[in-house]
Amino acid sequence: MGLVWEPVMGCDRVARVRSAYERFNCKDIDGLLALMTGDVAWPDIAEGEERHGRDALRRYLTDVLAFTTPLATLGDVFEVGDAVVALAYHEAYGDDGRLLGPPRPVSERFTFRGELIDRVELTSPDQVSDAVRARLPQGHTRGGPAT
Residue 6 lies in a domain: no
Residue 1 lies in a domain: no
pTM here is 0.76
How, if at all, do strands 140-141 and 144-145 pair? antiparallel
What is the structure's pLDDT at 131? 56
* Counted domains in the chain: 1
Alpha carbon 21 to its chain centroid, in Å, reads: 6
Please name the residue ranges forming H helices in 8-119.
Answer: 12-25, 29-33, 54-67
Strand partners, 99: 93
Mean pLDDT by 10 residues, the chain (147 residues): 39 88 94 97 86 96 89 86 84 83 86 94 65 54 39
Residue 16 lies in a domain: yes
CATH code of the domain in which 77 resides: 3.10.450.50
What is the structure's pLDDT at 130? 61
* Domain hosting residue 65, numbered range: 12-137
Contact 25, 71 (CB under 8 A): yes
SS3 127: helix
